[in-house]
Structure 1
């Protein structure tokens, strides 16, 4: 009977209750003797939680892409190029996280069924078949040599760092010379045990490309803290020109430079040296003594100042097994990629000399193809572009990420901006589509989305659900996919219904959240310095509603109305617009101070730039009032200012009010990053915990879409508007990649007039700039 047959899922028969409570690695192997010419060879593969596939000792791919308890992904891989005549070994390393989310990576779901899924076959020219599917013919063994550790006791969303021991019993386990006779036969799951209605049985094909891997070397030596070798010796080592031999019972401390913020798989090779201990400390920057803010973030100045600063970060520790030789070195490669700019290598040898043979890494990330290019009259913007492009790349893997170093979670507010940046430089929406689908699946019973997803833990920031509505709108304008919009409209309705249910009798949004960890929902708005003590929320929200949540609700209604119109749902669009107007009237009545500015909370005499920005964007105030209020916050810094996170919306308001020339002063935030030798954009000026935060790559949107003025005028980019905004610049030119092809624009200010030239693809209508 079908339900009693093997499911192509297998696991380790010795798996026990202790194994379930900590992250564990299990190795799987299958040998095939191929004696004929191969016609085709492919396999489908997945795992709970992660797999790494090797064929004949060579790494092939890692996966699966992140799913959840409703959807699980598998990969299809053509393995024919990696096979050879004779014995072939397919080897898979599976990392299984415990079901308790606090004991494993927050962004990777796991199910009650740990397992490896393989289905496939090899066909020869003569018609002979070799079955690859996972069954009892596969061998398996638990890897007891790696212990995964928490990066911090308080908050550890990754749990990817390792204490590892070199194990001679596993040396060469991926190759055809390895003896696996003592390994267990894998235990198959029958179909009855793997429900196809829920994860991991409900398998779906991968929707995004595989991550790229690029061989890289360290760029230099930052400091020789303690070593029997000179800095030049170490430079020759990292360039592959020599090996380094350390005597027994000695200590080496060296700090290496990758040259830029990096996400990569580190690989270090050793010979001999049994009992040596090697520690790898990964750091984004040199930090100063002392801390700042309630979260005690280290003080940061010049990120490359190794004379006055020190490295701080997370560590891997590897105890050398001593079984490596020059021909077959012992290798340590952490399972998950690492984020680093600098690495401190600390070696303590045991009773046997150790030879360090090599140390390099493979850069990895989403295969983003940046094709947009812009030059302007402000040469400083070129360095900001470089830093920002790198930031976007480092925050794109199998999902968009807030930061690659600390969390690797896909936050909605961050991702909305990152997606726009991606559209502007590459017109690639594959990761965006997955992001939208991920977020839709996170919807709660009350209509709100998890503020970051995939995430095994609940975490709700009410306003972030509005940014999801904006994401759907952005996709409509760039790609015009009605089917996608229709799929997301039910989720949009539920989000808006949540805010509607929480309106006060006066008509504005009531108190729906508070400070992080103190209320069920977190009313985060921005990491403004004045709001650090209230965890990124205006202090008005401690005791009552905040105006920003009403403004966000209005903004969401307005964009939902445009989505409804695109679907020809005019009555629905009218209802959204009517509701938006009612809430706007309530905000005008109850949240306007004596100075005509919007207050941070109804009747609370506290003001921020944020409320003035969104008052402009939502037309809650008229143009003259909005321009005056915004200008007041620019000239008077007593008002809480937008930080890196919110500058995208600030720049939209500056553009709308004709104040775009003031962007020059806000670009100083990024110029300071460059001066401080940042290679990626920091999380916030006053809260620089993360050195690489995707929302900071703002210039990737500003230069092509505003400075060159290339934006969709109608859904799907079939009609384009080319309306350059000069601001403080005098000329600009470049090529903008769009979903309908490349658009070239060049403009120059002459005697106060802007002379614009452009070329667009055939059949694309250019609409005149709005008056």
Structure 2
């Protein structure tokens, strides 16, 4: 910012050199014999040219506000790259970008910034194989778990966009990332002492230090082991589909060994939960969310774990960022109908006057008032509530399983690579009236009350169930 003083009675100018968001505060001032006059105030808005091509409609107006604020936050955090926030670092971080990219896919359909981000993180890899946590940047930073989330980003792109050639070009980078982690694994598969900043979430619970979970640096941390496990599972599937199947088998065996060890090392039978560390003294929502997502617990056992995640306030709590993964776990155990009851963090932000989502859950202590990693409802209102999910690489097949909760009516449209995909649901007494239009050449299934109905591509599919 620069300031030019025009002298008494003349014009004084303030200009900002670089793009950033601002909080404007006007304070009363006392002058001598002449009034203070503000002759002009204006701002130039700079952002990536995303168009909002989705539509969501229900009787709950709060959900409209949720989408509006989320989309505003997402747009303010996207210029020539994604960025974590428009005021502080203004850098493209992997953890943030994974969520931002899916917001772009579900709300806009424009995947160019996501595709670029995946490539840039691949280009950021150091000689030891690890990606940087953020890139482009002239100040290197390493967050090893973010390199594992990058593998998740590649898998997301595979499922929603396909493009075998592009995704295949990322496989050497994925192998290098996993090779980096192999150097720090014990014989049983668990990670030992890890270098760099092993940030996972901004929890301030006992044992967490500046975003690093218990044992996150010295080893025998369930959260780091579980993140590695998930990455191995995804990499195995990618190798089998478009890479080298033998490498896929190797990753599958590594994942199997690690999964078995995690169950022995961290499961606490007396609590019915996975602990954060091998002493089994500290527990978090995070570890148990990841245990569900990696399939370590399934069926009724997974539901019992999720019940404790939701009710046990002694656990380290996920923040607005990691709630993205918690909601994925909620859906996986069959509790998707509870999603609309899990939005208290976002309601608090709105009640406290925020018009974008903050960096952390606590609006009183947050540093950044605009962080797009909190915009996950812009994904999940479509993916969980309307139930629209990719069921095959490239979104070539869809699985539609709505979870309306208390809503009586809901519907909407998302941009699909083959055209718009539209759904409409209306509860009539004990029945549900359904209308679904798939794009051409897109197969799909509709799931309701544990029954599956085949959908016709390119046509309106009507049901009353």
2:224 paired with 1:549 = yes
Q: What are the Cα deviations for residues 700-743 of structure 1, in whole angstroms up to 9, with x where unaligned?
A: 10111221122222111222222212344333111111121111
User: Secondary structure of 1:579's match?
Assistant: helix
In 1, the alpha carbon distance for the partners of 2:293 and 2:208 equals 28
User: Secondary structure of 2:69's match?
Assistant: helix
In 2, the alpha carbon distance for the partners of 1:764 and 1:569 equals 28
Aligned partner of 2:340 in structure 1 is 664
In 2, the alpha carbon distance for the partners of 1:417 and 1:626 equals 24
User: Secondary structure of 1:658's match?
Assistant: coil
In 2, the alpha carbon distance for the partners of 1:750 and 1:334 equals 56
In 1, the alpha carbon distance for the partners of 2:169 and 2:418 equals 24
Which of 738, 746, 752 is the matching residue for 2:424? 746
Counterparts in 2 of 1:523 and 1:568: CA distance versus 1, 3 Å? closer
Which of 402, 418, 431 is the matching residue for 1:724? 402
Which of 383, 406, 416 is the matching residue for 2:65? 383
2:408 paired with 1:408 = no
Aligned partner of 1:606 in structure 2 is 282
Counterparts in 2 of 1:623 and 1:340: CA distance versus 1, 3 Å? same
Deviation at residue 569 of structure 1 after TM alignment: 3.4
Deviation at residue 565 of structure 1 after TM alignment: 2.8
User: Secondary structure of 1:735's match?
Assistant: strand
Larger helix proportion of the pair: 2
Counterparts in 2 of 1:348 and 1:633: CA distance versus 1, 3 Å? same
Aligned CA RMSD, in angstroms, stands at: 2.5
2:314 paired with 1:638 = yes
Q: Which runs of structure 2 are paired with 1:336-351 in the superposition (5 Å)?
A: 336-344=18-26
User: Secondary structure of 1:463's match?
Assistant: helix
Which of 580, 602, 606 is the matching residue for 2:255? 580
Counterparts in 2 of 1:424 and 1:531: CA distance versus 1, 3 Å? farther
2:180 paired with 1:498 = yes
Deviation at residue 539 of structure 1 after TM alignment: 3.2
Q: Which runs of structure 2 are paired with 1:89-238 in the superposition (5 Å)?
A: 162-165=1-4
- Structure showing greater radius of gyration is 1
Which of 432, 454, 457 is the matching residue for 2:136? 454
Counterparts in 2 of 1:351 and 1:334: CA distance versus 1, 3 Å? farther
Q: Which runs of structure 2 are paired with 1:285-684 in the superposition (5 Å)?
A: 318=14, 333-344=15-26, 356-513=38-195, 521-530=196-205, 534-541=209-216, 543-567=218-242, 569-594=244-269, 595-684=271-360
User: Secondary structure of 1:375's match?
Assistant: strand
Counterparts in 2 of 1:599 and 1:355: CA distance versus 1, 3 Å? closer
In 2, the alpha carbon distance for the partners of 1:571 and 1:544 equals 29
Larger strand proportion of the pair: 1
**Could you tell me whether the CA contact under 8 Å between 2:121 and 2:135 is conserved in 1?**
yes
User: Secondary structure of 1:339's match?
Assistant: coil
Q: Which runs of structure 2 are paired with 1:21-40 in the superposition (5 Å)?
A: none
Deviation at residue 543 of structure 1 after TM alignment: 5.0
User: Secondary structure of 1:706's match?
Assistant: helix
The gaps in structure 1 that reach 5 residues or longer are 1-161, 168-247, 250-271, 279-317, 319-332, 514-520
In 1, the alpha carbon distance for the partners of 2:206 and 2:432 equals 41
**Could you tell me whether the CA contact under 8 Å between 1:708 and 1:745 is conserved in 2?**
yes
Q: What are the Cα deviations for residues 585-626 of structure 1, in whole angstroms up to 9, with x where unaligned?
A: 110111112323111012331110111100000012233222
Counterparts in 2 of 1:751 and 1:570: CA distance versus 1, 3 Å? farther
Q: What are the Cα deviations for residues 93-120 of structure 1, in whole angstroms up to 9, with x where unaligned?
A: xxxxxxxxxxxxxxxxxxxxxxxxxxxx
In 2, the alpha carbon distance for the partners of 1:540 and 1:671 equals 33
**Could you tell me whether the CA contact under 8 Å between 2:158 and 2:394 is conserved in 1?**
yes
When structure 1 is superposed on structure 2, of 502-511 and 463-472 the one drifting more is: 502-511
When structure 1 is superposed on structure 2, of 444-453 and 570-579 the one drifting more is: 570-579
The gaps in structure 2 that reach 5 residues or longer are 451-465
Question: More relative contact order in 1 or in 2 (CA 8 Å, sep 6+)?
Answer: 2
Q: What are the Cα deviations for residues 475-495 of structure 1, in whole angstroms up to 9, with x where unaligned?
A: 111111111112111110011
